[in-house]
A = this chain, B = another copy of it.
Amino acid sequence: MPINETLVTEAERLTPKLREAEIAPRALVDAVPDPDAFQGWRMEPAGDYEGLSGRAFGKGESFVLDFGDHQVGYVSFAAEAVGSPPDAPLKLKLVFGEMPCEIGENFAEYDGWLSSSWLQEETMYLDVLPAAVTLPRRYCFRYMKVTVVDASPKYRARFADFRCAAVTSADVSNVPPLPDGVPDDLAAMDRIAVKTLQDCMQTVYEDGPKRDRRLWIGDLRLQAQANYVTFRDRDVVKRCLYLFGGMPLESGAVGACVFEKPHPHVDDTRLYDYSLFFVATLHDYYEATGDREALAALWPIALRQLKLGAERLDERGVVTDDPSWWCFIDWQGDLNKQASAQAVLIYCLKRGLALAEAAGDGEAAAWISETTHLASEAAMSRLWDAEQGVFVSGADAQVSWASQVWMTLGGVLAPAEASALFDRLFANPPEVGMNTPYMYHHYIEALFECGKSDKAWAEMRAYWGEMMRDGADTFWELYNPNDKKFSPYGSNLINSYCHAWSCTPTYFIRKYWNRTK
């Protein structure tokens, strides 16, 4: 599929200038093993940061800085020699960690299947001392460990002036106050959620600033929803939509993610749900901004996603299942995704209808209405198990939380029926659970949508609230309260602990508090 240069050029024009804040360390700490702490590590105070510049460090000695909160940015510091003139380079190892585990554990022992190159460490040499060092790479961290790997018998090293130039494209001054009456615990949750979004908002809406640092459409959709009630940016959302729209895959499907550097290009990953979410994201953007220029430019691309999505319906009107990684929904290896995908199609068709009407595209509107009807009917006739009173998915008729959540969001059941469905699920929980804040987001939204707002607030407090009790400065990519080291990548060291799709408590609080309380 050729790149649409007009869209990509406009996307590049919309690249924001990043805002910078200078952050100094707050304290010295040590990572201490503790079986009662989250993932087995806690931070222990190890002195005032101000005392650091009076100490000198020799071969094998180290210290850990605590920057007080999660940071995304560029680090600088000063180093000098104490003793004789430095007669050999100063060799340093720097480790950056969002979480205590990254400081406490040894990266050399990492054996997950994601590239170890995401682990944030540097080995560097200072040939000349004193030195003012500005590290060229961006790090994502609260803690920074500095180890003197080697100096020389004739000198030791002293350090000072650590700073992080923290970057974001988010305008913090634009965030409206919380609705009246939001209780303290939710206000605290909101603050962390807003910080999560802020740290992910760079020149695109990144999924995680530590890893993968890319624009994924699944993350973008939720970030944009949170953004409309907080930072109220429109240019960067528009840039992201234009990047996706301007660089489809061969088939015309919108790719699952795009890269910005060295020039914008689309990844070769296609996911059924993610392509469809282009429509939902455009819908939400148009609803928030009324930007008719964007609507005109992107509506044909959105319609194409719906057509491609509908092509996967079999003769019964059911989305064709597939054993490959064709649809995301959740990081849940046991999950059959057929029913969820069916519901995502319906969900996006409905948002597409609003766009077709706004764009004055009557032909598309008619097709969408017809297809929505077909897919919804098929969902009820083929995927609803009336006996159990749940949606089932795949050849083995799997019952999962995801299927019920998405069918609810797709509006396949009337709200009262969905509410009753959830009551049955609470009494008899499906075996296949939820692993990500991304899936939890949809679960919470489904609860609000079917009128179970008390349960929604309670579940937010149980899930994101538990992350807070476990020490979250920003909300995490992955969290299973029953398996706190859960990682789909084979190691919790590589999990992202500031992750876009986890920022939505602020969306719920700002959208639903006044409506439900």
Contacts and interface: CB of A to CB of B under 8 A. Distances in A.
Contacts of A50: none
B87 A267 contact: yes
A90 interface: yes
- Give the interface centre of A85, A113, A150, A212 by most chain B CB atoms within 10 Å: A85
A290 interface: no
Interface in A255-284: 259, 261-262, 265-268
A91 interface: yes
A157 to B, nearest CB: 11
Interface string A115-150: 111100011010111100000010000000000011
A152 interface: yes
Contact of A84 (B90, B125, B262, B267): B267
A226 to B, nearest CB: 25
A152 B89 contact: no
A85 B115 contact: no
A118 B91 CA distance: 9
A149 B116 contact: yes
Given A87-B212, A88-B212, A117 B150 contact: yes
A153 B116 contact: no
A173 B84 CA distance: 40
A114 interface: yes
B137 A114 contact: no
A123 B125 contact: no
Contact of A88 (B115, B125, B151, B267): B115
A375 B138 CA distance: 66
A85 B116 contact: no
Nearest to A257: B87
A118 B152 CA distance: 10
Interface residues of A, number: 37
Interface in A62-113: 84-85, 87-91, 113
A152 B115 contact: yes
Interface in A223-268: 259, 261-262, 265-268
A486 B88 CA distance: 21
A327 B85 CA distance: 20
A125 B137 contact: yes
Contacts of A149: 116-117
B137 A118 contact: no
Given A123-B123, A125-B137, A268-B84, A118 B89 contact: yes
Contacts of A89: 115, 117-118
Nearest to A86: B259
Contacts of A153: 113, 115
Contacts of A116: 91, 149-150
Contact of A85 (B87, B123, B127, B267): B267
A212 B149 CA distance: 18
Contacts of A267: 84-85, 87
A243 to B, nearest CB: 14
Nearest to A136: B127
A261 B117 contact: no
A91 B117 contact: yes
Contacts of A90: 117
Best-surrounded residue of A89, A211, A214 (most CB of chain B within 10 A): A89
Contact of A128 (B118, B125, B150, B262): B262
Nearest to A121: B123
6 contacts: A85-B267, A89-B118, A115-B153, A117-B152, A122-B123, A125-B137
Given A88-B211, A89-B118, A117-B149, 4 more contacts: A88-B118, A113-B153, A115-B150, A130-B262
